[in-house]
Amino acid sequence: MKIKFAATYGFCFGVKRSMELADAEARADVPVCTYGPLIHNEQVIEDLQSKGIAKIESIDEILAAYERVIIRSHGISHAEYQRFVESGLDVIDATCPFVKKIHKHVQTCHKQGQPVIIIGDAQHKEVIGINGWCGNQGYIIARKEQIDELPDLDHPCVVAQTTFSLTRFNSILTELKKRFDPLQIYRTICAATEKRQNACIELAKTVDALLVIGGKHSSNTKKLVEIGGLYCPVVFHIETAQEIPFQDLSKYHTIGITAGASTPDWITKEVLKTLNQQGNEQTMQEMMEEMEKEMQKIYTRAIVTGTILSVSEEGVLVNIGYKSDAMIPKNELSFKKDVPLTEQFNVGDEIEAVVVNMNDGEGNVVLSTRRLAQKAAWKKVKEIQDADQSVKVTIDEVNKGGLVAYIEGLRAYMPASQLSVSYVKDLTQYLNQEIEAKIIELNPRKNRIILSHKVIEEVILKVKADAFWETLEKEQKIVGKVKKIMPFGVFVELGGVDGLIHISDLSWGKIKHPKEVLTVGDDVETIVLDFNRETNRISLGYKQLIPHPWDNIEANYVVGEVYEGKIARFTDFGAFIELTQGVDGLVHISQIAYERINKVSDVLEIGQMVNVKVLSVDAENHRISLSIKETLEKPERPERPERPASDSKPKRKRAPKKREEKFESYTSGDDSEITIGDLFKDLDLDK
């Protein structure tokens, strides 16, 4: 005959774990017992008893005779568990972790006032234990027909016996959804059970007869017998090699073998050995090799391919052809955050992942698609860096220090200092924006990727700068953008190179700060005054492109006309008036007012707007004489009042003073007298 094995069979994780705990207690050489059968396999129970671990069904008996007790893998009720703990017994809890999860679910729902529906065999120890964690108030059903017997329930939760038939569970669940809405569902059928049942179906379809090995009281083994019978006409249920029906099996060419979750490997091997001794066409070695082939050999960091068994919001369960199932937790999945897992992964799909843990404590191998994707992503990112390529990334997060983006799913950081060659005050403007960058630092061990957009700008600016310098000439007019304003001048970006307009070259008039003339961001036309490529300096002029205010000054300011100006500054002898930027005129103190003033500041203020009349213009020496008072109305002098008549006195008229100039007379031959006029008349003054 030809032997074929199911892809999955034998001990599940929960059973294996309970056996390991029991073996450890047996070696401790301390009296210990199990509360009821540890698992549903008589051969295993007998083996444990031979090691000194008794099976006791009564709690009272255990409390009276033992100090240590092992809780069976199917679990017990909350009340029973509390009784052991409160008595001070040393409790070794071998309850299957999957069953423990069900306990937590029903306990939480019960405390919240939710009714609990348990799908399973009401007489099974596991179901009895589950019901004990919701106050024994659960509604237990095993068939669709029992749904009609349920009362009206408000938002019930549903759990299932871990070894229940998946097909029957789904059938019952469909009807429950019709009856109750909303319905909180916990899919608690053990993944190992589900996988074992599926493997049994596939095997049964390809063999002439099916041999199921396991305890007669084992629920999961009986499910295998039931399922196998649906696809294979001949099914034999045996517990040991002694029960092999050789006479019946001899009629069939291909025999399929599977085993229940409570069936130890040594029993399966004993069955194979016995079949071999009866003239099987395959040798024992060949059958063992075939068994090994059915199991995929895995190890940590191995890349495996499996089939998705189930999907929940906690993660994805995968069959990887190993003796235990593989779980991909949600945090180890590569998926779209805004889409439910159930919409991204489908049962039956193949999935590739990397092994990160051989045992998560619940019997599952832990896989990760995220880390597998990361491994490929790091390789891709390294290739990008080695090739000095740029990447386009979308900014997903902005913080005080910089920007966060993702490359191939890997988190990358761009410090604010690497964003641009110029200072960027508001980083939030880049949120959700696409930006080109280069990888300037890569460290997979520290999970660090540093990006820079600045280096790309620098390359672009260098190309522009080289082209710019080649064409630069003195007296060249060039348009740039105001980049920075300092007290001493304005920096202008000219296309890869910065030029400086000194404050003295900004205005023909006097200014206190460059901000009075230009603003950051302004487009400005300048003229190249001087440059030095070696020092990377360019001197620019701005006022040089503006007409000099004294040009054509006589036409702009006509003598005798009145204009408005602003008082700019005072002197002891007058005030200077700014007529326009770069053109000041002087109002002498005597031209400020008609009345006499001692100080200019007594009547005028700096910044005051006044009307002035142009008295004179000296274009050559840049001088304009102005007058304020001549723009004002000249005040009239008051008339002297007339005196009253009583006060009038006659004016004394003075007689003209007779002035006789007499000189000493001299005789000219007679005794007549000579006047001064006569004397001058006779004198020759030229002599």
CATH superfamily of 472-545: Nucleic acid-binding proteins (2.40.50.140)
Q: Which of 126, 194, 332, 362 is catalytic?
A: 126
- Burial class of residue 643 (count of CB atoms within 10 Å of its CB; 0-12, 13-18, 19+): exposed
DSSP for 501-524 reads EEGGGT-SS--S-GGGT--TT-EE
Q: What value does the CA radius of gyration of the chain take, rounded to a whole number of Å? A: 56
Residues with Cβ < 8 Å from 513, sequence gap 6 or more?
A: 487, 503
Q: Is 493 tagged catalytic?
A: no
Give 325's contacts (C-beta < 8 A, 6+ positions apart). Answer: 13, 191, 192, 195, 309, 317, 318, 319, 363, 364, 365
| CB neighbours of residue 477 within 10 Å | 11
CATH number for 563-613+624-631: choose from 3.40.190.10, 3.40.640.10, 2.40.50.140, 3.90.226.10. Answer: 2.40.50.140
Q: What is the pLDDT of residues 81-120, one digit of tens each?
A: 999 999 988 999 999 888 988 999 999 999 999 999 999 9
**Which token pair is 327?**
């779980």
Task: Compute the distance between CA of residue 388 and CA of residue 401 in angstroms, rounded to an integer.
Answer: 25
Token pair 């939760």 is found at: 157
pLDDT higher than threshold 60 for residue 673: no
Say which range, 25-29, 125-129, 199-203, has the weakest mean pLDDT.
25-29
Q: Is 80 exceeded by the pLDDT of residue 334?
A: no
What is d(CA 545, CA 506) in angstroms, rounded to the nearest whole number?
Answer: 10
> 114-153 pLDDT, tens per residue?
999 999 999 999 999 999 999 999 999 999 999 999 999 9
In CATH terms, the fold of domain 13-96 is Rossmann fold (3.40.50)
Confidence label for 643 from pLDDT (cuts 50, 70 and 90): low
Residue with the bigger pLDDT between 27 and 386: it is 386
Residue 231's pLDDT is 92
- Domain spanning 98-185: which CATH class is it, in words? alpha beta
With 0.85 as the threshold, say if the pTM is over it.
Answer: no
Residue 40: how many other CB atoms lie within 10 Å = 28
Specify whether the CB–CB gap between 153 and 146 falls below 8 A: no
472-545 and 563-613+624-631: identical CATH topology: yes
Domain ranges of the chain: 13-96, 98-185, 303-373, 388-457, 472-545, 563-613+624-631
| pLDDT of amino acid 544 | 86
pLDDT digits (tens, 9 = 90+) for 56-78: 999 999 998 898 999 998 999 99
CA-based nearest residue to 69, from 101, 47, 93, 44: 93
Proportion of the chain above pLDDT 70, given as a percent: 88
List strands edge to edge, sheet with 235-238. Answer: 2-5, 254-259, 209-213, 235-238
The yes/no answer on whether domain 303-373 falls in CATH 2.40.50.140 is: yes
Average pLDDT, integer, range 184-202: 83
Within its chain, how far is the Cα of 120 from the centroid? Answer: 46
Confidence band of 674 (pLDDT split at 50, 70, 90)? very low
> What is the C-alpha to C-alpha distance for residues 23 and 257, in angstroms, rounded to an integer?
27
How confident is the model over 253-287, as pLDDT tens digits?
888 999 888 888 888 888 888 887 765 544 445 55
Whether domain 388-457 has CATH 2.40.50.140: the reply is: yes
